[in-house]
Structure 1
Amino acid sequence: MPEQYRNCIEACYLCAAACDNCAASCLKEEDLEMMRDCIRLDMQCANICRLSAQFMALDSQSAKELCAICADICRQCGEECGKHQHDHCQKCSKACLHCAEACQKMAA
């Protein structure tokens, strides 16, 4: 993988895994209605993170633009997950906000 992308790619894959786990865990919660936005953003965030990591690994000319979008979605997901006290949501929020920061640096 291109060295300049290493930290961001790792943050993206860790974030995607945290989002997948959070969405699956949210589906097991009693109040699904309360978790609706969390699940929706988890799915979107996981997908954009994997795509961003792939574009960086390919050394794509569009990687920086995609990372800017990824940073925005990660921030939204991190804020939404942070509203819930479930352990999986708190871990996901942390991973998302870390990834948003890494992607923002990559996009700059």
Structure 2
Amino acid sequence: MAHTSPEMQDCIDACLRCYQTCLGMASNHCLPAGGKHVEPEHVRLMLACAEICRTSAHLMLLGLPEHRHTCRACAEVCEACATSCAAVGDMQDCVTECRACAAHCRSMAA
């Protein structure tokens, strides 16, 4: 297994937490809540965020230098998801995890 720096491990952990939070909140919070929580653009963004977080973690775990590209995209999608979740309201866990993941991913993409 390739050596994973502490910074990369922190980013992997942040990505996996964000993946779990976005997917879980989309399924177990937004769907039951209805209304603005289930507007298509919001739900698509949450699902895209979960997927790019999972993919970024996966490429870092594989040790591919190309993870910088997915991390850059991940940071952008996470910021958009955080903004959407903040606008919808009652989604602070998602906002917090998305912003944390975006910060980690920006540093890994640098």
Settle same-fold status: TM greater than 0.5. Answer: yes
Give the aligned CA root-mean-square deviation in angstroms: 1.6
Aligned to 1:103: 105
Structure 2: 5+ residue stretches without partners: none
Tell me the CA shift for residue 33 of structure 1.
6.8
Q: Which residue, 61, 78, 97 being the options, matches 1:57?
A: 61
Structure 1: 5+ residue stretches without partners: none
Tell me the CA shift for residue 5 of structure 1.
1.1
| Residue correspondence of structure 1 range 1-108 to structure 2 within 5 A | 2-3=4-5, 4-24=7-27, 25-31=29-35, 35-86=39-90, 89-108=91-110
Tell me the CA shift for residue 46 of structure 1.
0.3
- The answer to whether the 8 Å contact 2:49/2:81 transfers is yes
Aligned length: 106
Q: 2-side partners of 1:68 and 1:77: how far apart?
A: 14
Between 35-44 and 61-70, report the one with greater CA deviation. Answer: 35-44
Q: 2-side partners of 1:53 and 1:64: how far apart?
A: 11
Cα shift readout 1:41-69 (whole Å, capped 9, x = no counterpart): 11000000000001001111210111000
- The answer to whether the 8 Å contact 1:68/1:107 transfers is yes
Tell me the CA shift for residue 37 of structure 1.
2.6
**Identity over aligned pairs, percent:** 33
Q: 1:28 aligns to what SS in structure 2?
A: helix
Q: State the AA in 1 paired with 2:10.
A: N
